[in-house]
């Protein structure tokens, strides 16, 4: 159906920006993959299109982090626009055709990309001129002893406007967001929401860019209210209220073209969260737009045309992602792409005319971007994120973990290429961070998937299970997690190990548990709770003292009232004094007898270094000091620099070799 023409200028596209922008060369498929190849920053990430479809903004490796560059689609020449060394460029948005705005964050974390001590809002022209810091980073504010973040974030473009955007910001009230008309060239802002509910956390704009729906937090509760107004002159009226720790969530997403009908994600009376049409004036639902029997849909599922702002469809994060298109044209293009790029997940966005940007990936082929020219019937590769890994990774296999109390939770496992049926291997169970995030997805180089691919390439079997309270996997799985932290939630981790034994590939005497953030906590608690199941542990960015993580000024959680209250629901308590002593690993260090490897970032503000050092001291007092403690200066909640990740996994592999791998038999 298509002529596939590879773009020869892979490295040359950004030659104008300097030699550091060249794509790394790949290795032969049968050659061993080095740790450095697995953790190397992508050659390109996240292309976004200018309004006229001529320029692509991408992030590329510069100075050891992902920085911003712009590529001219016509000349295929590129220009580097930023040179940050301590954070990655994220959230890139075009303002017309000549300017861009972006924020900063940490890409490699156990909970997915996040801001943590970065953040801020910046603007620059596509030629790299007029650079402006509109909002300070979290790191900068904390240096000034400001611990509650205040600043702007991108909300929406303004049609036919090359200097202004609509932004959310808590400048007027630290506890509430407002909408501002923000000039990114000058930094000047005009308040749009003269009135809005107290403690508003999110807005939905109508098709004329008027804030018409506001979600706001009810102080000292886990309840959120949703208010609506008929136009910008009308008063706000509450239309819904829900507790985020219980079924019945009401998440407004966007207005239809009539500016009267809303799309809302809700799990009220449902096994999964679905997208429904809703009449806010009559306060009633009008029918289902899209649903899935096992997986949830929410605001992040919506696919919006970047040129027309039309809602085109929804993506479901199932075992593999699924797209439900709402228009016949998109369904037709999807069919053609799946024929041209089989065995991959393919999606697309319109660029201009008959041209579309195609995003394509699988578990063994890292994401690549193509230009589909429907008129010419051609498909041309533009960028490949990690070409050196193409075809060299192992299969990411989905399965449904059946827990001892009857839940069925989507999870994944990885086996070495040379594994033979019935052969039992040393096995690692990797627990994701959060815990209330879905961190690992099919075909993406996330924190857990990267670790699994590294270990599988060295002969280990790896299970990357989800567990109760992981979102997106149905109401029962999610809401069963509240009140089970440090208790039933831990059972799910052991159930994943037992499943691997039952499948015949895990050696029951050589199973290690690993993870970072919540995964580090789960590692410590599981070693204490299940000493017959887990022979060792790799604990990163740990939580060891639960009350301390909610109170210490070294972290960022205590400065967010709503977050602390939410954690009370996760823990199943009403206040700090009710937190059981035995769910903090630091208090039960004497029950941990297995070998441990720790790692931490010295500058982490999500799980501060004190959490690691206290646990290490507790283990030393208990007579079981860790085999190794790797603390990296300048790193935070996840390691951003390639050399630090190489060091981490080299040391982790040595530890595993000595405890459950070939070295353990000597």
Question: Confidence class of residue 666 from pLDDT cuts 50, 70 and 90?
Answer: low
Of the chain, the end-to-end C-alpha distance in Å amounts to 57
Helix extents (H) in 540-602: 546-549, 561-571
Q: Are 495 and 529 in contact (CB under 8 A)?
A: no
Question: Confidence class of residue 74 from pLDDT cuts 50, 70 and 90?
Answer: confident
Contacts of 291 (CB under 8 A, 6+ apart): 270, 272, 274, 275, 297
| In 571-624, beta strands by DSSP E | 596-601
Q: Flag whether pLDDT at 280 surpasses 60.
A: yes
| CB under 8 A, 24+ apart: contacts of 556-560 | 556/116, 556/117, 556/138, 556/147, 556/605, 556/606, 557/606, 559/147, 559/148
Which of 13-27, 95-109, 133-147, 492-506 is least confident? 13-27
Stated length of the chain:
666
List pLDDT tens digits, range 622-658: 999 999 999 999 999 999 999 999 999 999 999 999 9
Burial class (CB in 10 A: 0-12, 13-18, 19+), 223: middle
What pLDDT score does 283 carry? 97
Biggest CA pair distance of the chain: 77
Q: Flag whether pLDDT at 16 surpasses 80.
A: no
Question: Could you count the other beta carbons within 10 Å of the beta carbon of residue 397?
Answer: 14
- Residue 433's nearest CA partner among 184, 604, 578 is 604
What integer is the mean pLDDT of 32-60?
94
CA separation for the pair 536, 510 (Å, rounded): 8
Tell me the two tokens of residue 402: 């059946």
Question: Confidence class of residue 353 from pLDDT cuts 50, 70 and 90?
Answer: confident
CA separation for the pair 295, 73 (Å, rounded): 37
Q: Flag whether pLDDT at 159 surpasses 80.
A: yes
Question: Confidence class of residue 30 from pLDDT cuts 50, 70 and 90?
Answer: low
| Residue 32 DSSP one-character state | P
Percent over 90 (pLDDT), the chain: 90
CA separation for the pair 381, 371 (Å, rounded): 6
What pLDDT score does 15 carry? 31
Q: Flag whether pLDDT at 205 surpasses 50.
A: yes
Question: Confidence class of residue 18 from pLDDT cuts 50, 70 and 90?
Answer: very low
Q: Flag whether pLDDT at 145 surpasses 60.
A: yes
Q: What is the mean pLDDT of the chain?
A: 93
Q: Are 225 and 197 in contact (CB under 8 A)?
A: yes
List pLDDT tens digits, range 514-524: 999 999 999 99
Percent over 70 (pLDDT), the chain: 95
Q: How many CA atoms lie within 13 A of 577 on its CB side?
A: 0
Question: Confidence class of residue 31 from pLDDT cuts 50, 70 and 90?
Answer: low
Q: Which residue has the tokens 């620059």?
A: 124
Q: Which residue has the tokens 């080095």?
A: 34
Of residues 552 and 375, which shows the higher confidence score?
Answer: 552
Angle at 288 between CA 284 and CA 290, to 5 degrees: 145
Tell me the two tokens of residue 236: 């706000």
pTM of the predicted model, to two decimals? 0.94
Helix axes 518-529, 488-502, angle to 10 degrees: 80
What integer is the mean pLDDT of 282-288?
97
CA separation for the pair 92, 94 (Å, rounded): 7
| In 218-344, beta strands by DSSP E | 223-228, 237-243, 250-255, 262-266, 274-279, 284-290, 302-304, 311-317, 321-325
Q: Are 472 and 296 in contact (CB under 8 A)?
A: yes
Torsion of CA 640, 646, 651, 656, to 10 degrees: 100
CA separation for the pair 431, 465 (Å, rounded): 6
Question: Confidence class of residue 310 from pLDDT cuts 50, 70 and 90?
Answer: confident
Q: Flag whether pLDDT at 550 surpasses 90.
A: yes
Question: Could you count the other beta carbons within 10 Å of the beta carbon of residue 391?
Answer: 11
Q: Flag whether pLDDT at 14 surpasses 90.
A: no
Helix axes 447-457, 642-659, angle to 10 degrees: 50
Q: Flag whether pLDDT at 479 surpasses 60.
A: yes
What pLDDT score does 10 carry? 32
């Amino acid at each position: 159906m298509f002529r596939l023409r590879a773009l020869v200028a892979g490295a040359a596209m950004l030659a104008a920006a300097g030699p550091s922008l060249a794509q790394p060369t790949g290795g032969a498929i049968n050659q061993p993959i080095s740790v450095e190849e697995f953790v190397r920053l992508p050659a390109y990430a996240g292309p976004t299109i200018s309004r006229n479809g001529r320029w692509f903004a991408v992030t590329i490796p510069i100075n050891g982090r992902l920085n911003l560059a712009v590529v001219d689609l016509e000349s295929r020449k590129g220009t580097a626009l930023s040179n940050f060394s301590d954070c990655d460029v994220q959230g890139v948005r075009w303002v017309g055709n000549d300017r861009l705005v972006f924020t900063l964050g940490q890409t490699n974390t156990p909970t997915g990309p996040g801001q943590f001590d970065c953040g801020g809002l910046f603007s620059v022209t596509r030629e790299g001129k007029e650079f402006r810091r509109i909002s300070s980073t979290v790191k900068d504010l904390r240096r000034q002893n400001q611990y509650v973040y205040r600043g702007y974030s991108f909300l929406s473009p303004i049609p036919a406007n090359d200097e202004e955007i609509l932004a959310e910001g808590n400048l007027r009230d630290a506890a509430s967001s407002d909408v501002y008309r923000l000039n990114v060239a000058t930094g000047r802002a005009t308040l749009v929401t003269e009135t809005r509910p107290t403690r508003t956390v999110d807005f939905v704009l109508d098709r004329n860019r008027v804030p018409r729906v506001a979600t706001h937090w009810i102080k000292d509760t886990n309840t959120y209210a949703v208010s609506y107004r008929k136009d910008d002159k009308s008063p706000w009226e509450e239309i819904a209220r829900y507790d985020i720790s219980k079924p019945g969530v009401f998440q407004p997403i966007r207005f239809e073209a009539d500016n009267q009908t809303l799309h809302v994600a809700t799990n009220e009376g449902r096994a999964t969260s679905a997208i429904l049409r809703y009449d806010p004036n009559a306060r009633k639902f009008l029918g289902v737009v899209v649903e899935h029997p096992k997986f949830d849909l929410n605001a992040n599922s919506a696919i919006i045309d970047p040129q027309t702002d039309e809602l085109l469809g929804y993506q479901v994060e199932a075992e593999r992602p699924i797209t439900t298109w709402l228009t016949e044209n998109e369904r037709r293009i999807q069919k053609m792409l799946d024929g041209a790029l089989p065995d991959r997940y393919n999606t697309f966005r319109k660029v201009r005319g008959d041209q579309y940007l195609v995003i394509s990936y699988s578990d063994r082929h890292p994401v690549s971007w193509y230009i589909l020219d429907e008129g010419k019937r051609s498909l041309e590769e533009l960028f490949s994120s990690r070409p050196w890994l193409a075809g060299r990774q192992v299969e990411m296999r989905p399965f449904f973990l059946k827990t001892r109390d009857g839940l069925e939770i989507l999870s994944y496992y990885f086996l070495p290429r040379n594994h033979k049926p019935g052969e039992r291997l040393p096995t690692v169970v990797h627990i994701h961070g959060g815990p209330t995030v879905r961190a690992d997805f099919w075909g993406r180089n996330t924190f857990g998937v990267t670790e699994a691919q590294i270990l599988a390439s060295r002969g280990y079997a790896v299970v990357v299970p989800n567990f109760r309270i992981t979102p997106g996997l149905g109401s029962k799985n999610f809401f069963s997690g509240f009140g089970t932290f440090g208790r039933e939630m831990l059972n799910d981790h052991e159930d994943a190990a037992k499943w691997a034994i039952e499948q015949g590939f895990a050696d029951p005497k050589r199973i290690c548990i690993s993870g970072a953030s919540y995964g580090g906590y789960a590692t410590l608690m599981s070693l204490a709770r299940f000493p017959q199941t887990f022979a060792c542990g790799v604990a990163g960015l740990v939580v060891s003292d639960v009350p301390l993580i909610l109170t210490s000024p070294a972290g960022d959680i205590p400065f967010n009232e709503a977050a602390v209250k939410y954690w009370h629901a996760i823990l199943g308590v009403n206040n700090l004094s009710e937190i059981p002593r035995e769910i903090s690993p630091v208090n039960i260090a004497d029950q941990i007898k297995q070998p441990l490897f720790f790692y931490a970032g010295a500058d982490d503000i999500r799980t501060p270094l004190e959490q690691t050092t206290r646990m290490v001291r507790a283990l030393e007092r208990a007579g079981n000091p860790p085999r190794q403690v790797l603390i990296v200066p300048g790193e935070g909640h996840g390691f951003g620099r390639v050399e630090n990740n190489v060091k981490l996994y080299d040391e982790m592999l040595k530890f595993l070799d000595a405890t459950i791998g070939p070295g353990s038999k000597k």
